[in-house]
Amino acid sequence: MSIETPALHPDANWWRQAAVYQIYPRSFADANRDGLGDLPGVTSRMGYLSELGIDAIWLSPFYPSALADGGYDVDDHRNVDPRLGSLADFDAMVASAHAADIRIIVDIVPNHSSNRHVWFQEALASAPGSAARARYHFLDGLGDDGARPPSDWPSHFGGGAWTRVVEQAGPNAGKPGQWYLHLFAPEQPDFNWDHPEVRADFHTTLRFWADRGVDGFRVDVAHALVKDMSLPLRSKPALAVLVDDGTDPLFDRDAVHEVFAGWRAVLNEYNPPRTAVAEAWVPFTDRRLKYAQPTGLGQAFNFDLLQAPFVAAEFRAIVQKCLAEAAGSGASSTWVFSNHDVIRHPSRYALPDGSTEDDLEAWLLADGEAPAADLARGLRRARAATLFMLGLPGSAYLYQGEELGLFEVADLPQASLQDPTWFRTKHKVKGRDGCRVPLPWDATAENFGFGGTPWLPQPAWFADNAVTVQDGVAGSTLELYRVALRWRRKLQCDESLAWLSAPRDTLTHYRRPNGWEVLTNFGDAPTPLPAGVDSATVVLSSGAPWAAGACIPAETTLWLAP
Ligand code: BGC
């Protein structure tokens, strides 16, 4: 029997072509003016979100946390950080979102807890070999005195993936003892997903939020849960090198899909079934689509467009590949250019063509001063890329602030940086704070209307991007998003498209089954409309207002109504 809950009306397919807006709660809006964004802040901006035209909000973690990793170090998966509000505030936020016809997706962080989680505290206080330790990965070290970590595995934020504890119980109390595994910061111990209590506890967590009316879940590092911990541990000196055939000791192991089949059964207890989208950074192979199949989580992120240069042939190839992948899994495709983990896309596109990930990191480390970024070009391309993407079949994932055309804040004062990457790499990699700076709502208000003194300082140029400056101004990035999201509802139909012929090196041109067309000029020179395209049908341009009979400006997308 399915459970009727206060979720939005029972359209089981609402997610397939939804526009989902990611809120990083600590940086969105600060109702109690303590400098950290909060849930009442989200509720207070529901009118803004509704006017923007989104279908759902994805909330990054809002759980109790010491913020060692911006909230992805969760103390209690079934509560609200008191600095961000209460469960009652959460319920009020869900009710207000649903009243505005907006669904709520919450972030679930199953790979690890925080080191303050009651289970981890219990594990630390218990002796090696105890039941409490078995919920995590505790092992003896190597060498006669156990002083070497159990394996050479690095952690994602720099440094090793093992931390040694001082025993609190047993014959070695007071002495250095076992090591525990953390693929991320030491404050994020990895759960042992072979343990039945861990599996059962996450079913409880899913039901806890689904019962409160949550419509879906974003699943953090979904590909990492199940690990091969058989001894001796295998060597893996670089995390990024993923042997993607199921044999990697840490990632994308076949058994992870048993976990998600169990989750799917829980999610399907509800009417409509709760959705889930996997964050699984695995390469494009048939393996990736398993996360998205209906017997699993149901949808998976692909980060291909996010990682691609602004090049027609690349965008087109990615779309073809991802639509085929989606068709193969039964899910709809996902599209994303920005999120809380990456440099905002107008800045990425502003850097010299051919810049690599290492170049981007070096640019951040140089406070965004070298190489010189062409910001006007970056924003022009970002707007074109967004319109290209919003016309596609599938779910569009947007990150707060991109509708304001925000750039990365590359020159945050070093003393303000909080990302564990900055500390764990001994200041060699700056990390992700630059895309997490609290939003500018009002150009002239204190702290740009965010609330109290923001936990990351806002640069003076945020005034130019504030909501008050763009609201109602035709052609502003905010109005472009609003108009596009409104049109998008008309444009969505069957999840397919047809490519129309276009010079492959500069232009893409596709048509949706209901006749809408999307034309993008990726080149840096204007180009004529393709033969047979009626200039009078252009209803939206990512660049200057469309003038009938004109060429498509450089780095611009047009939407053509049937
Ligand atoms: C999240 C990150 C987080 C990491 C560890 C991710 O992939 O998106 O922000 O640091 O998981 O939880």
Q: What pLDDT shows up at residue 502?
A: 80
Q: Best substitution site from 22, 217, 220 to test ligand 1's pocket, by max atoms within 8 Å of Cβ?
A: 220
Tell whether ligand 1 has an atom less than 6 A from the beta carbon of residue 72. Answer: yes
Average pLDDT over residues 347-366: 96
pLDDT grade for 139, boundaries at 50, 70 and 90: very high
Q: What is the β-pairing status of strands 138-139 and 176-181?
A: antiparallel
Tell how far the Cα of 72 is from the centroid of ligand 1, in angstroms: 6
Tell whether ligand 1 has an atom less than 6 A from the beta carbon of residue 221. Answer: yes
Q: What pLDDT shows up at residue 501?
A: 85
Q: What pLDDT shows up at residue 492?
A: 80
Tell how far the Cα of 298 is from the centroid of ligand 1, in angstroms: 20
Tell how far the Cα of 418 is from the centroid of ligand 1, in angstroms: 14
Given the CA of residue 69, which atom of ligand 1 is nearest to it? 10
Q: Best substitution site from 111, 182, 341, 429 to test ligand 1's pocket, by max atoms within 8 Å of Cβ?
A: 341
Q: Best substitution site from 65, 73, 181, 184 to test ligand 1's pocket, by max atoms within 8 Å of Cβ?
A: 184
Q: Ligand 1: which residue has its CA nearest to atom 12? A: 72
The predicted model scores a pTM of 0.97
pLDDT grade for 242, boundaries at 50, 70 and 90: confident
Tell how far the Cα of 221 is from the centroid of ligand 1, in angstroms: 7
Q: What pLDDT shows up at residue 316?
A: 97
Q: Ligand 1: which residue has its CA nearest to atom 1? A: 220
Q: How far apart are CA 294 and CA 336, in angstroms?
A: 21
**396-430 pLDDT, tens per residue?**
999 999 999 999 999 999 999 999 999 999 999 99
Q: Ligand 1: which residue has its CA nearest to atom 7? A: 221
Q: Which residues of 391-412 are buried (b: 16+ CB within 10 A; e: fewer)?
A: bbbbbbbbbbbbbbbbbbbbeb
pLDDT grade for 76, boundaries at 50, 70 and 90: very high
Average pLDDT over residues 507-514: 95
Given the CA of residue 112, which atom of ligand 1 is nearest to it? 12
Tell how far the Cα of 74 is from the centroid of ligand 1, in angstroms: 11
DSSP state of 475: T
- Which H or E run contains 305? helix 304-307
| Percent of the chain surpassing pLDDT 90 | 91
Cβ atoms 339, 397 nearer than 8 A: yes
Helices in 25-128 by DSSP H: which ranges? 39-44, 46-52, 87-99, 118-125
On the question of pLDDT at 9 being above 90, the answer is no
Among candidates 12, 100, 110, which has minimal Cα distance to 56? 100
Q: How far apart are CA 15 and CA 220, in angstroms?
A: 18
Question: Residues with catalytic annotation?
Answer: 220, 269
Q: How far apart are CA 483 and CA 161, in angstroms?
A: 46
pLDDT grade for 513, boundaries at 50, 70 and 90: very high
Cβ atoms 430, 420 nearer than 8 A: no
Tell how far the Cα of 318 is from the centroid of ligand 1, in angstroms: 24
Tell whether ligand 1 has an atom less than 6 A from the beta carbon of residue 109. Answer: yes
Tell whether ligand 1 has an atom less than 6 A from the beta carbon of residue 519. Answer: no
Tell how far the Cα of 445 is from the centroid of ligand 1, in angstroms: 32
pLDDT grade for 1, boundaries at 50, 70 and 90: very low
Q: How far apart are CA 539 and CA 559, in angstroms?
A: 6
Q: How far apart are CA 274 and CA 217, in angstroms?
A: 8
Side-chain-side CA neighbours of residue 382 (13 Å): 32
Q: Please list the residues that pair with 560 across neighbouring strands.
A: 517, 538
Beta strands in 504-546 (DSSP E): 507-511, 517-521, 538-541
Q: What pLDDT shows up at residue 243?
A: 73
On average, the pLDDT of the chain sits at 95
Tell whether ligand 1 has an atom less than 6 A from the beta carbon of residue 24. Answer: no
Q: What pLDDT shows up at residue 165?
A: 98
Q: How far apart are CA 384 and CA 241, in angstroms?
A: 33
Q: Ligand 1: which residue has its CA nearest to atom 5? A: 72
Degrees to nearest 5, angle at CA 152 with 149 and 153: 105
Average pLDDT over residues 347-368: 96
Q: How far apart are CA 37 and CA 372, in angstroms?
A: 32
